[in-house]
């Protein structure tokens, strides 16, 4: 796909994946610490996540600009959301998660 190639050549692409339809997936809800599994498909789903890109850009505008270039078909919607960075957390939480940055760098750096 040309679009993915463009993202890659611009050096902004961090990850992308397409997802199988929810009929093959499952939902897990938590109540009192106990997990309950319900297998797909789900009838009430109006909006289903079909895939995602993770891109590294300088601003929200740039992210929206990239999303707008996507060769999406009519009536498709792409949602642009900002990922939490470690620096977004307040000091107390950062302290509690002292072991995390290393782990995060191991997985994301």
Q: Please, what sign has the CA dihedral across residues 103, 30, 40, 75?
A: negative
Does 57 contact other proteins by CB under 8 A? no
Q: To 5 degrees, how large is the angle CA 41–CA 47–CA 52?
A: 95
- Out of 30, 43, 58, 87, point to the residue binding other proteins (CB under 8 A): 30
Q: Are 28 and 36 in contact (CB under 8 A)?
A: yes
Q: Of residues 70-99, which lie at the interface with other proteins (CB under 8 A)?
A: 70, 72-84, 88-90, 92-93, 95-97, 99
Does 41 contact other proteins by CB under 8 A? no
Does 20 contact other proteins by CB under 8 A? yes
Minimum CB separation from other proteins for residue 32, in Å? 6
Does 43 contact other proteins by CB under 8 A? no
In angstroms, the first-to-last Cα distance of the chain is 26
């Amino acid at each position: 796909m040309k679009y993915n190639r463009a993202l890659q050549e611009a050096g902004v692409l961090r990850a992308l994946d397409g997802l199988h339809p929810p009929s093959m997936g499952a939902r897990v809800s938590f109540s009192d610490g106990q997990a309950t599994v319900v297998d797909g498909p789900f009838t009430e789903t109006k909006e289903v996540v079909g895939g995602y890109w993770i891109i590294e850009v300088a601003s929200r505008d740039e992210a929206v600009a990239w999303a707008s270039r996507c060769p999406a078909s009519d009536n498709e919607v792409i949602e642009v959301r900002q990922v939490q960075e470690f620096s977004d957390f307040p000091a107390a939480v950062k302290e509690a998660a002292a072991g995390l940055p290393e782990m995060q760098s191991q997985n994301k750096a």
